[in-house]
Amino acid sequence: AWRLSAPNRHLLSTQDIAMASKVAVSTDKAPKPLPGIYSQAIKANGMVFVSGAIALDAETGKLIDGDVQAHTHQCIKNLSAILEAAGSSIEKVVKVNVFLANMDDFAKMNEVYTTYWGDVKPCRTCVAVKTLPFNTDVEIECTALL
């Protein structure tokens, strides 16, 4: 089906209209976002954009104990829960941004990070930042296909 959009009078298919919408994703299997500030993820145009995840426990809302490796596992666990709620998965991730409080943790974080993807790794950026929420050592965000 086709619709005429006004005032520009462009033809848009119903598929184009559906693809242009954005839908918030929410799950109790990952830490809650700050109310009114951001969504856990947004689905739009065949993609899912996941907000940064830190090593919070979904049930307690508290930072888990452990080092950057334990925190990296928890970050990816949280991302995975949100991706699954969106109808995607960790295997469909195409872009990752990693934020480290200390670049000295780069190798340890990578030891864990590389276990989550097969031969075709997602594109990635990793930067050091001054501080992260809850003074944690790592935050990870991603974009995936639906």
Domains, the chain:
22-145 (3.30.1330.40)
pLDDT recorded at residue 7: 56
What whole-number distance in Å separates Cα of residue 85 and Cα of residue 72? 20
30 pLDDT more than 60: yes
pLDDT, average across residues 36-40: 92
| CB contact burial 49-86 (16+ within 10 A = b; e otherwise) | bbbbbbbbeeeeeebbeeebbebbbbbbbbbbbbbebb
pLDDT bracket for residue 35 (50, 70, 90)? confident
What whole-number distance in Å separates Cα of residue 4 and Cα of residue 13? 9
Task: Please state, rounded to an integer, the average pLDDT across all residues of the chain.
Answer: 91
pLDDT recorded at residue 34: 80
Tens of pLDDT, residue by residue over 89-107, are: 999 999 999 999 999 999 9
The whole-model pTM stands at: 0.85
Between the CA atoms of 95, 86, 141 and 90, what dihedral angle is there, to the nearest 10 degrees? -60
Tens of pLDDT, residue by residue over 49-81, are: 999 999 999 999 999 999 999 999 999 999 999
pLDDT recorded at residue 91: 96
Cα–chain center distance at 21: 19
Structure tokens at 64: 């888990």
Are 31 and 57 a contacting pair, CB within 8 Å?
yes
pLDDT recorded at residue 72: 99
The residues, ordered by sequence, that sit 6+ positions from 76 with a Cβ below 8 Å of its Cβ are 53, 90, 112, 113, 116, 140
